[in-house]
Structure 1
Amino acid sequence: MLKDISGAGIDGAIVKISADSTVIAYAISDKGQFNVAFNTNARKVKLIAESIGYESVENEIMNVSQTYNITMKEEATELKEVVVKAPAIYQHGDTLSYNLSSYITQSDYTLKDALKKLPGIDVEESGNIKYLGKEISNFYIDGLDLLGGKYNIATTNIPASYVNSVQVLNNHQAVNMNKDIFSDDVAININMSNNARFKPIGTYEGSVGYGDDWQYKVSGAGMLFKPKFQTIATLKIGNIQSFASNEVTSLFGGVEEESKAEKLIGNISASAPPIDKDRYASPDEHLFSVNFIKKITETATLRGNVDYSYSKSRYDYDIQRNFYDGYENIIIDQGINSLSTSHSPSFSIVYKNNAATSYLNNTLFGKATFLRNELPTMENSQELMQQQSMRDYYVENDFSYSWRKGKLRWSLFSSVLLFNTPKVSLIVANGENDIHQSANSLGLLTKNVLSAVYDFNNSRFYFPLSLNYSADKIQTELQSDLGNTGNKNDMKGGKLSIAFAPKYEYTHPRRIYVFRADVPMRIDYIYNNNHILNAKDNFGFFSVCPEIYFNYKASSRSVLRARVAYTRDSGDILDFLTFPVQTDNTTRKISSGILQDNKSLMVNLHYDYKIPLDMWFVNADIIYQREHNNLLASQDVASDLIQSTFIYMPNNTNNITAQLGITKQIESIKTKISLKGLYIWRQQQAEQNGLLTTYIWQNVGISPTLTSQPCKYFELNYSGEISKTFLSYENIKRNYWSHVHKISLKITPVQSLIFSASSDIVKKDLTQNMSKTMALLDFDITWLLNAFRFNLSLQNALNQDSYSYSLYSSINTYTYNYKLRGRELLFTLAVTL
């Protein structure tokens, strides 16, 4: 209790706890009442109380849970002219808050730009957000889940100037009735500024330019953020940048499964080099999305998301595939001009009631994809045309209901997912022997779980019972002009799984440590029916897959996590396709006829250390994984055909991954410095042209990043990746270097005028004795006038025409050379309302 001499409680006083001269926790008094929670190994700590109009109090107290009374004497204070400035970062319990204005500059237009400046937070090229190396589990705007996993819509369209603060919610428990159950999830909450609340806002942009052809882009995003209603609507059309698929892709995973036909045939235009797509691909894209969430009651919300994306992309590249053959390597050269077109509408409707003693969620989701690819190809001096088309639909409904009564918690989950791929076709026309491959599939998947949880003191006992069932049908046919018409597959199959997965969990009263042990027991029944061969197969498996999890909060600054898990997975109906399937002009798949049986042991150790007030963040992981497979991938390679299958040969794959991340924010010069280190070691077997080979693949690399604005006139951004790859098999040892550096310099000579220059510098070893260096240079001039932004941009000023790199897959080497877009001059006008 905090009182004055008269015994009245003091309101608004700051009470701080310090250990080793460092403030580790604080609270603000409410009518004299305060509560400070902290965790430190120090035997004694200092309690400091401060308030305007009173003398400061500083006492040394024992580090034990206690009630403490403080009396403060009044002190007359002559107030001078002051500037009130919110702290750049502060922590309250498990919530870490960033005052965004302390980190951003004039050139940070979007929320995504601003998030990259925050210490401890990383934003990947895909838009995926990580905190201390861990992917976020939820993304909120003023506490509401408007977008689910499609939060790229928010980060790329909300102006940074309209965001007040960004909160990192550690140990986030999304279900209110389970707030007392420990979770190591991390969520992000965006607090909008008062200027962006209660009234419609928007960002609108138009661009025009010329490069290899005329270019344009028109976009608009309208938004409204009220306490009980939020909406974001976007419309974008243009051929300058690729944006359609990025903004409507769920970064939380979405539907994990895919149809059997889609999995079998794949997308022949899915090649993606390690470079920004807008450097090599000429797009033509449209995007429309409407998203809203309505707070029906204090605990219930209704959310709707509708979007449509159209993407047309053209790019050219050459590929040389070097296949190891023991004596003389087999080389296949190709030149490909890819034109890919896709239409993808989707929708979701989510009702959620997140009450204190119950939880109800129902999600209805649907999506369709219409894909067409055309690939004029030059292979070994022969011209041919590859054409692929695919139609794919799926709809899913997830229902979950949990309720709590006394020491028992009950939960029910039911999911139904329907796949339909009515047509996939591939035509390879070479003028001599045209190839026609077709496929279609239909699938149904349902997952159902009934679970009871019993609370006993600090322990919990989980008793979940699950019933999962899947049914699939697939048909394929391969024809050629040479009269080969017998290559047909007509299969039906399914899988029934019944599992009982008891789990024990113990949580320390102060959550210093959490221990969990799972022992899932599962019975799988798998069947399939081959209509062509009139053959039936049935299989049964019993599996026990234990898992142990331990989370130890060593102090308020550091956390240690450990996880050991054993898993077992089986194959599917595709393992029993007895006739070949063509997936592109040179690749043909033949199934083994044997059901895959994969077993995996994974050990993961994680450590993170943070001092938010001093802006130090460290995270480290060591992961070991051993996989045992009953089938081994096998290839028979000739100069004109690669035939892949699986052979029965039990084999093991060993993986070790070690990674370290360190971030330091130097607030006085507005500088964020990060350094990441990564080491990967893999041992695996490969079978090619009858030659069984064991190979070891290693990669070691560091990735430094720097964001600095030492003064208001100057800003420097740098990110780099330096890595070396080692490959050894038989008596062959090879190693390759890769250097990637991105540098951006911004100068603001006068208020609202920004000059910037950026460069991408890449040096990669293409072979053991040959490397290639590429440099891309861009210039920008930006003028800010109230709500308007004018930008003149010169892209690829050096007119660099190609980008080359190599991939090392198993014992083979693939070397790519992509044609780049030429020099481009663009003018952009944007307005924020």
Structure 2
Amino acid sequence: MLRDVSGAGIDGAIIKISADSTVIAYAISDKGHFNVAFHTGSKKVKLIAESMGYESVENEILNMSQTCNITMKEKATELKEVVVKAPAIYQRGDTLSFHLSAYTTQSDYTLKDALKKLPGIDVEKSGNIKYLGKDISNFYIDGLDLLGGKYNIATTNIPASYVNSVQVLNNHQAVNMNKDIFSDNVAINIHMNNNARFKPIGTYEGSVGYGDDWLYQASGAGMLFKPKFQTIATLKIGNVHSFTSDEAASLFGGIEEESKAEKLMGNLSTSTPPLDQDRYASPAERMFSVNFIQKITETATLRGNVDYSYSKSQYDYDIQRNFYDGDENIIIDQGINSLSASHAPSFSIVYKNNAPTSYLNNSLFGKATFLRNDLPTTENGQALMQQQSMRDYYIGNNFSYSWRRKKLRWRLSSSVLLFNTPQVRLTVTNEGNDIHQSANSLSFQTKNLLSAIYDFKNSRFYLPLSLNYSADKMQTDLRSYRENTNNKNDMTAGQLSVAFAPRYEYTHPKRIYVFRADVPVRMDYIYNRNHIQNEKDKFSFFSVCPGIYFNYKFSSRSTFRTQVAYTRNFGDILDFLTSPVQTDNTTQKISSGILQDNQSLMANLHYDYKIPLDMWFVNADIIYQREHSNLLTSQKVASDLIQSTYLYMPNNTHNTTAQLGITKQIESIKTKISLNGLYIWRQQQAEQNNLLTTYSWQSVGISPTVTSQPCKYVELDYSGEISKTFLSYEDIKRSYWSQVHKISLKITPIHSLILSASSDIVKKDLSENQSKTTGLLDFDITWLFKAFRFNLSLQNALNQDSYSYTIYNSINTYSYNYKLRGRELLFTLAMTL
């Protein structure tokens, strides 16, 4: 406790711990209270207390857990004229806070732009946020979970100027009653400034331009952030940029948004080259969303999220697939003009009561998708048409209730999910030689858990019992000119799993290390029925899947974490579809009729080192995974048909991944430098045209990133990816280089005027002795006037018309050539209220 001579607590004092003349930890007093956690081998340390208006106090204390009472004498200080600035970064316990304006510039318009400037934080192309290489588990705005996993809505619509600070919550435990249980999750909390609180605010933007055709885009986002109520409503429409796939997606995962029929048939228009979608695809999209959260009591909230998106996209590309066939390979050439349109409404309603001794969460959610694809195709010089339509929806509810009584905690949870795909249709028209494929599926899943946790000193014993059940029904019908018969599947299948997964956990009293050991024991009962052949099959499996976890905190700066886990999972109803299913004009799938049994052993080593005040961040990971399967993928390739199936052949796949990330922030010149290295090695088997091949695939690469503002007039952004990929099988060895460089230079000759030029430079090997370099150049002029932003943009100024690249897919080689959008001139007016 820190008091003055009258006994009153002192607020805002700095308490530092020093060992060998080095400050190893510090804290800031709150009404006299403070808590400093540190780790050092010294027997004694110095405790130093400093506060303006008081004499400094320095005491030598033993290195042990203890309570210190300090009295500080008042000291008059004559102040000179000063400019008070908030620290750019400060740490209190496990919370690291960034004062956002210390890192941003005039060109950082959205919160997403600003987050990319923060040391230790990476924002991926999808909008996914990582801290020291780890995905965040929660995203809060002033402590409230408004958006769940759809936090792209916040980062792309909230202006950076409305955010005061960004907090990184290390070892975040989202459930209050479990605050004493260690967690290695990391969360982000956004603190809005006073200009954005208590009153409606909004961002509105309109664009018009011309390229290959007329371009337009309009968007608006209205927001309100109060202590007990928050809302964001958005509306977007246009054909300039693609936005629905990012803002409508949950970045926390959640349920697998794919039915059995969709998993089987796939999406004809899902080709994704390593290039920004806006470079090659012409979109026409619209979307609206309404999101709110109401704080009902001090611990209870009610959240609602509703959105609807419509996406239409058109793009052209050529693909040459080179299939390994011993001495003479098989080549299939295709030219595809893809036109895809989809409607996707969704909703969720979440009630949460996060009390100190209990936790209640209930989430009701649903989504529907209506998809249509039209693909005029030229294959080996012959014209044909592929058309696909799909309708599916899911609706579900997740319920969880936990409560605590002294040393015993209980948890009860139950979830139900209904997934229905009433229709998927594929039609291939080829000069009267038509193919008609239809499929439908219905799935029901329920997962139920009853768990008890017993606390005994520094140990915990987890005793969870789970009961899961799933039931599936699926039908397919293929009518093809290739075979003068109807190929049908009519199946039902189900799985019942009963598991008891005890866990032991030990946490050091000072949380220096945490150890966990799991021994899940599971019984699986699986059945399927073929209604056409009137056959039934039943299976039962007993599995023990142990795992260990160890987290060691060397100091406040460095952490070591390791995890080893063995898992086992089984296939589903798709394993029993033994009649052919056509998925596009050249591909047929035929299941083996044998249930897949996949076993995996994973070992992960992680280390991170950080000096927040010096803005050094380092993280490293090594992951090894061995997968064993009883089935091996097999292909039979001809010039006009690829048949994919599985063989009963036990096989192993080995994967090794090594990753290193280093970030340094140089505050004096507002520069963030990051360097990420990645190495991947994989070895597995493939069977094609009766040739069994063992192949190995390797990739090594580095990804440097620099954002710098050496002076107020100049800003430089650079990101690159340089990698080399190796493939070897039989006596064949292949490799190719890939380089992607993105450079942006911004100059501010006068206040509020920004001139920028950016370029995407791509160099990729197309074959062993041939490479192609593509350069895309953009120019922008931006003028900021009070709440308005005017922008004139010239995209693809060099009018590049194509983009080519090659990839290795197993033992095969695929070469792509995409048509790019031409030169585009765009004017944008944006307003922030």
| TM-score category, normalised to shorter length | over 0.9
Q: Partners in 2 of 1:313 and 1:257 — Cα distance?
A: 21
Contact residue 506 and residue 516 of structure 1 kept, 8 A: yes
How do residues 491-640 of structure 1 correspond to structure 2 at under 5 angstroms? 491-640=491-640
Counterpart check, 1:182 vs 2:182: yes
Counterpart check, 1:294 vs 2:294: yes
Q: Which range moves more in the overlay, 661-670 or 478-487?
A: 478-487
How far has the Cα of 1:39 moved from its partner?
2.5
Contact residue 41 and residue 555 of structure 1 kept, 8 A: no
Aligned to 2:24: 24
Contact residue 16 and residue 47 of structure 1 kept, 8 A: yes
How far has the Cα of 1:533 moved from its partner?
1.1
Q: Partners in 2 of 1:449 and 1:32 — Cα distance?
A: 44
Q: Partners in 1 of 2:594 and 2:31 — Cα distance?
A: 73
> Could you say if the C-alpha distance between residues 213 and 233 of structure 1 is closer, same or farther in structure 2, counting changes exceeding 3 Å?
same
Contact residue 745 and residue 756 of structure 1 kept, 8 A: yes
Aligned to 2:437: 437
How far has the Cα of 1:18 moved from its partner?
3.2
How far has the Cα of 1:432 moved from its partner?
3.3
Contact residue 480 and residue 486 of structure 2 kept, 8 A: no
Alpha-carbon displacement from aligned partner over 1:738-797 (angstroms, at most 9, x marks no partner): 111000000011110000010000000111111100000000000000000000000000
Q: Partners in 1 of 2:9 and 2:599 — Cα distance?
A: 63
Corresponding letter in the other structure for 1:576: F
How far has the Cα of 1:7 moved from its partner?
6.1
Contact residue 398 and residue 414 of structure 1 kept, 8 A: yes
Aligned to 1:424: 424
How do residues 377-526 of structure 1 correspond to structure 2 at under 5 angstroms? 377-481=377-481, 484-526=484-526
Q: Which range moves more in the overlay, 666-675 or 477-486?
A: 477-486
How far has the Cα of 1:16 moved from its partner?
1.9
> Could you say if the C-alpha distance between residues 301 and 6 of structure 1 is closer, same or farther in structure 2, counting changes exceeding 3 Å?
closer
Alpha-carbon displacement from aligned partner over 1:784-812 (angstroms, at most 9, x marks no partner): 00000000000000101111111111100
SS at match of 1:749: coil
Q: Partners in 2 of 1:315 and 1:60 — Cα distance?
A: 71
- Name the TM-score, length of structure 2 as normaliser: 0.99
How do residues 122-137 of structure 1 correspond to structure 2 at under 5 angstroms? 122-137=122-137
How do residues 109-148 of structure 1 correspond to structure 2 at under 5 angstroms? 109-148=109-148
Q: Partners in 1 of 2:26 and 2:450 — Cα distance?
A: 43
Counterpart check, 1:243 vs 2:243: yes
Aligned to 1:173: 173
Q: Partners in 2 of 1:86 and 1:39 — Cα distance?
A: 28
Contact residue 25 and residue 92 of structure 1 kept, 8 A: no
Q: Partners in 1 of 2:12 and 2:692 — Cα distance?
A: 74
SS at match of 2:426: strand
Counterpart check, 1:685 vs 2:694: no
How far has the Cα of 1:47 moved from its partner?
2.5
Contact residue 445 and residue 471 of structure 2 kept, 8 A: yes
Corresponding letter in the other structure for 2:686: A
Alpha-carbon displacement from aligned partner over 1:552-599 (angstroms, at most 9, x marks no partner): 111111111110000011111111111100000000000101110001
Q: Which range moves more in the overlay, 54-63 or 446-455?
A: 54-63
Contact residue 316 and residue 819 of structure 1 kept, 8 A: yes
Aligned to 1:360: 360
SS at match of 1:698: strand
Corresponding letter in the other structure for 1:160: A
Q: Partners in 1 of 2:726 and 2:437 — Cα distance?
A: 38
Counterpart check, 1:106 vs 2:106: yes
Corresponding letter in the other structure for 1:360: L
Aligned to 1:219: 219
Contact residue 579 and residue 590 of structure 2 kept, 8 A: yes
Q: Partners in 1 of 2:821 and 2:20 — Cα distance?
A: 57
Q: Partners in 1 of 2:7 and 2:396 — Cα distance?
A: 62
Contact residue 25 and residue 556 of structure 2 kept, 8 A: no
Aligned to 2:322: 322
How far has the Cα of 1:78 moved from its partner?
1.7
Q: Partners in 1 of 2:175 and 2:339 — Cα distance?
A: 45
How far has the Cα of 1:67 moved from its partner?
3.4
SS at match of 2:153: helix
Q: Partners in 1 of 2:443 and 2:526 — Cα distance?
A: 15
SS at match of 1:264: helix
Contact residue 553 and residue 559 of structure 1 kept, 8 A: yes
Corresponding letter in the other structure for 1:341: A
Q: Which range moves more in the overlay, 52-61 or 231-240?
A: 52-61
Alpha-carbon displacement from aligned partner over 1:182-209 (angstroms, at most 9, x marks no partner): 1111100000001100000000000000
Corresponding letter in the other structure for 1:758: S
> Which ranges in structure 2 are unaligned for 5 or more consecutive residues?
none
Corresponding letter in the other structure for 1:625: Q
Contact residue 28 and residue 92 of structure 2 kept, 8 A: no
Corresponding letter in the other structure for 1:766: L
Corresponding letter in the other structure for 2:645: T
How far has the Cα of 1:6 moved from its partner?
6.3
Corresponding letter in the other structure for 2:421: T
Corresponding letter in the other structure for 1:441: S
Q: Partners in 2 of 1:32 and 1:289 — Cα distance?
A: 46
State the number of aligned residues: 833
Contact residue 435 and residue 478 of structure 1 kept, 8 A: yes
Aligned to 2:285: 285
Q: Partners in 1 of 2:257 and 2:799 — Cα distance?
A: 42
How far has the Cα of 1:3 moved from its partner?
4.6
Corresponding letter in the other structure for 1:321: R
How far has the Cα of 1:4 moved from its partner?
4.7
SS at match of 1:750: coil
Q: Partners in 2 of 1:667 and 1:442 — Cα distance?
A: 57
How far has the Cα of 1:22 moved from its partner?
4.5
Alpha-carbon displacement from aligned partner over 1:30-83 (angstroms, at most 9, x marks no partner): 454433222333444332222222333344444322333444444332211101
Alpha-carbon displacement from aligned partner over 1:164-189 (angstroms, at most 9, x marks no partner): 00001111111111111111111000
SS at match of 1:751: coil
Q: Which range moves more in the overlay, 4-13 or 138-147?
A: 4-13
Q: Partners in 2 of 1:482 and 1:727 — Cα distance?
A: 35
How far has the Cα of 1:5 moved from its partner?
5.6
Q: Partners in 1 of 2:18 and 2:11 — Cα distance?
A: 21
Alpha-carbon displacement from aligned partner over 1:661-720 (angstroms, at most 9, x marks no partner): 000001111110000000001110000000000001000000000010111101000000
> Could you say if the C-alpha distance between residues 832 and 551 of structure 1 is closer, same or farther in structure 2, counting changes exceeding 3 Å?
same
Percent of residue pairs identical: 84
Q: Partners in 1 of 2:161 and 2:299 — Cα distance?
A: 30
Aligned to 1:96: 96
Corresponding letter in the other structure for 2:395: V
Corresponding letter in the other structure for 1:367: K
Alpha-carbon displacement from aligned partner over 1:451-480 (angstroms, at most 9, x marks no partner): 111111111111111111111000000012
> Could you say if the C-alpha distance between residues 585 and 305 of structure 1 is closer, same or farther in structure 2, counting changes exceeding 3 Å?
same
Aligned to 1:745: 745
Alpha-carbon displacement from aligned partner over 1:253-295 (angstroms, at most 9, x marks no partner): 1212621111100101010001100000000000000000000
SS at match of 2:80: coil
> Which ranges in structure 1 are unaligned for 5 or more consecutive residues?
none
Q: Partners in 2 of 1:343 and 1:656 — Cα distance?
A: 40
- Name the TM-score, length of structure 1 as normaliser: 0.99
> Could you say if the C-alpha distance between residues 10 and 588 of structure 1 is closer, same or farther in structure 2, counting changes exceeding 3 Å?
closer
Q: Partners in 1 of 2:5 and 2:387 — Cα distance?
A: 86
Q: Partners in 2 of 1:4 and 1:403 — Cα distance?
A: 42
Q: Partners in 1 of 2:386 and 2:252 — Cα distance?
A: 34
Contact residue 25 and residue 91 of structure 1 kept, 8 A: no
Q: Partners in 2 of 1:480 and 1:627 — Cα distance?
A: 37
SS at match of 2:255: coil
Contact residue 704 and residue 720 of structure 1 kept, 8 A: yes
How far has the Cα of 1:9 moved from its partner?
4.9
Cα RMSD (Å)? 1.3
Q: Partners in 2 of 1:36 and 1:729 — Cα distance?
A: 57
Contact residue 40 and residue 556 of structure 1 kept, 8 A: no
> Could you say if the C-alpha distance between residues 51 and 482 of structure 1 is closer, same or farther in structure 2, counting changes exceeding 3 Å?
closer
Aligned to 2:798: 798
Aligned to 1:38: 38
Q: Partners in 2 of 1:25 and 1:815 — Cα distance?
A: 55
> Could you say if the C-alpha distance between residues 96 and 8 of structure 1 is closer, same or farther in structure 2, counting changes exceeding 3 Å?
closer
